[in-house]
Structure 1
Amino acid sequence: MDRRRLLRLALSVPVAARAGLLASSMAMAADPKSAAKPSTPARDRRPARPRLVMLDPGHGGADPGAIGTHGTQEKDVTLDIAREVARLLADRHRITARLTRNDDRFLALDERVALTRKSEADLFVSIHADSAPNADARGLSAYTLSSKASDGFASRLAQQENRADRFGGLDMKGSKQVVKDILLDLTARHTRNASLFARQTLVRGVAKDLRLLENPMRAANFAVLKAPDVPSLLVETGFLSNPKDEEILRDAEARRRVARVLAREIAAVLSNRSFA
């Protein structure tokens, strides 16, 4: 059974039944003779579908995100970079890319997650250029989901990002989480491991061409990364709170360079056999 289908099936049943379902399904996958249905002849098998990445330009609409000292708005930077990454993935790497938003509109965090899950994406990348807790912080960094933040820097970033829904007039205090405590859910183990692999591959590749934040691989409880069945990353392309990073991200050609590097490394993640 396909690993993604297994995750979705497990998520559709009560928690108490998931472990048994997952174990029996894995046993069937490991022992074809245990399955009542005969294997499909090779000539009848459909070719694997093209890889799909969902790109999420952070903020938008009433939510400008960070604003630099020269007035650079994060929502504009992220949309421009995401559009270019999508174009490059399609033209140079033959990878399908979709955007959660393709114009200046507000999207709630859970809407971004829902769009990603509905598309059955292989990878979700949320693109940002936030205001850092430390004004001296600059450079690219990548974040995965964790119930416990890797450090105070990542924790404050997550708290800041998770408040984005207030721009849409949403009261998140009583909102239903997409998944409750998914890091403890057996079905999310593969998603977590794939996210960690994607983060490491992307950051190591980006380091060849772009400046990185000190300790560029971090984790925190980002609401936008909570799809249980889609490996997810949040990438800070730089920080508009830093004058040097703002100068770079204000420049159209510099943004194109960032997009080229991101597209190349996203393609590297999706083409690696270790990323299933």
Structure 2
Amino acid sequence: MKETKTRILTGTALLAAAIMFATVSTAEEQLSYTTLGQPESISAVLSKENNIVYLKQAIELLKSIDDIYVNIEKSLSDGKKLVVFVDPAHGKLENGAWEGEMTGRLSATGLPEEYYSIMLSRELFKTLSVNRFIEVRSTEDFMQVMKGRSNLYKNIPFVDTVRLAAEAGAFIIVSEHLNNISSIVKASGLMNIPGVHITTDRWGNRFLSYVKDIHRGFLTLYNKYDATDFSRRYALNLKEALVAQGMRANNWQMGAVPDDRFSYFVDFPISVIYESGFISNPDDEELLRDPEYQRRIVRGQYESLLETVREV
């Protein structure tokens, strides 16, 4: 009987100790993930979260955002830099082909989108690197491309871009893309010009078409779910800057387009995709070949970024 009582008491003591330890551990964990310093509205939401794992994730995300976006001026004066993460636009696939070739992202002259993305990204890297308060980051192979040391880089999913940008403490993700939408499919391939054309239907039958509508000009896709509003303001500032230079904004949302695909990546509220022209349009493609035109586009991207940072 004594032995049985001893076992029961021992078991009860162990259970009590386990409960006490768990209580202390949870209290310590919750203390280390405090919501102090957060706005009242955010603290109110977080206080309703009973799952410690989700609470940790939410507070870690908030802390990361605060570290990057709050008191930018003080961070810069303390020696920190604004990290701009450049997403590699498409790239080489496992089979060795450019994604632009495999997915129909071709110019009027048959060049893949990456051909122009590389040129614009190199100009962007050169422009950003002059500013001592800015650091440019990307994948290792695309960094070599932007520095002019290589012409090859691998395609990566955007989820990897977000992960790498988060690890780099990036302020913003940008990506140099070109548009290739075409109003028609010509018998000889994609084309984006007005006039009478021999076109094909989906079965390959040829017929004459009179095309009036064409796609031209730049546009910027910005994060529709950016609660800071920085992405939208940046896109609008960029549109204003490029139009002031005589460049043509595409008529889709007049050159600043909210994009909901960023909703999957709450880690990065500030993210934009530059679409600097329609390579499927011969006139746009000719402009994009001009190094001076490239410099003007990138200068607008750079100066509009600085302007938007100053605004906030």
Give the TM-score normalised by structure 1: 0.62
Equivalent residue runs for 1:234-245 within 5 Å: 234-245=273-284
Identity level (%): 22
Task: Give the whole-Å Cα distance in 2 for the aligned partners of 1:267 and 1:97.
Answer: 14
Alignment match, 2:32:
none
| Structure 1 runs not aligned, ≥5 long | 27-41, 147-182
What are the residue-to-residue correspondences of 1:41-56 with 2, within 5 Å? 47=78, 49-56=80-87
Cα distance 1:256–1:273, how it changes in 2: closer, same or farther (>3 A)? closer
- 1:228 aligned to 2:259? no
Gap change, CA 1:239 and 1:217, over 3 Å in 2: same
The residue aligned with 1:117 is 166
Query: Residue 145 of structure 1: which of 209, 223, 226 is its match?
Result: 223
- Normalization by structure 2: what TM-score? 0.56
Distance 2:263 2:108 in 1: 27
Question: Could you tell me which of 243, 249, 261 is aligned with 1:207?
Answer: 243
The letter of the residue matching 1:204 is: E
Amino acid at match of 1:77: Y
Q: Does 1:14 align with 2:59?
A: no
Q: How far, CA to CA, are the matches of 1:82 and 1:17 in structure 2?
A: 33
Within the alignment, does 1:198 sit opposite 2:234 as a pair? Answer: yes
For the residue of structure 2 that corresponds to 1:14, the secondary structure is helix
1:18 deviation in Å? 5.2
Give distance in 1, aligned partners of 2:223 and 2:287: 28
Q: Which amino acid aligns with 1:189?
A: A
1:128 CA drift (Å): 0.5
CA deviation digits over 1:141-199, x for unaligned, max 9?
Answer: 111234xxxxxxxxxxxxxxxxxxxxxxxxxxxxxxxxxxxx5xxxx633xx2222222
- SS across alignment from 1:120: coil
Instruction: Give structure 2 stretches of 5+ with no counterpart.
Output: 1-36, 47-51, 67-73, 94-98, 146-152, 184-191, 193-213
Contact 1:137 1:239 in 2 (8 A): yes
C-alpha displacement of 1:222: 2.7
Q: Cα offset for 1:230?
A: 4.1
1:222 counterpart SS class: helix
Rg larger in structure? 2
Per-residue deviation, 1:99: 3.1
Task: Output one character per residue of 1:91-144: Cα deviation in whole Å (capped at 9) or x when no partner.
Answer: 157422223423332112211121122111111112110212544111111112
1:200 deviation in Å?
A: 1.9
Within-5 A mapping of 1:257-276? 257-270=296-309, 272-274=310-312
Q: Which of these residues, 243, 258, 271, is aligned with residue 219 of structure 1?
A: 258
Contact 1:72 1:246 survives alignment (8 Å): no
Aligned equivalents of 1:224, 1:78: Cα separation in 2: 24
Query: Which of structures 1 and 2 has the larger relative contact order (alpha carbons within 8 angstroms, sep 6+)?
Result: 1
Whole-Å Cα distance in 2 between the matches of residues 133 and 217 of structure 1?
Answer: 20
SS in structure 2 at match of 1:213: coil
Q: 1:126 aligns with which of 156, 175, 179?
A: 175
Distance across 2 between alignment mates of 1:70 and 1:224: 35
Report if the CA contact (8 A) 2:85-2:165 is conserved: yes
Do residues 81 (structure 1) and 159 (structure 2) align? Answer: no
Aligned residue pair count: 204
1:90 to 129, 132, 146: 129
C-alpha distance in structure 2 between counterparts of 1:248 and 1:124, whole Å: 26
The whole-number CA distance in structure 2 between the counterparts of 1:133 and 1:224 is 27
RMSD: 3.5
CA distance in 1: counterparts of 2:281 and 2:220, whole angstroms:
17
Q: Distance in 2 between matches of 1:224 and 1:83?
A: 28
Partner AA of 1:75 in structure 2: E
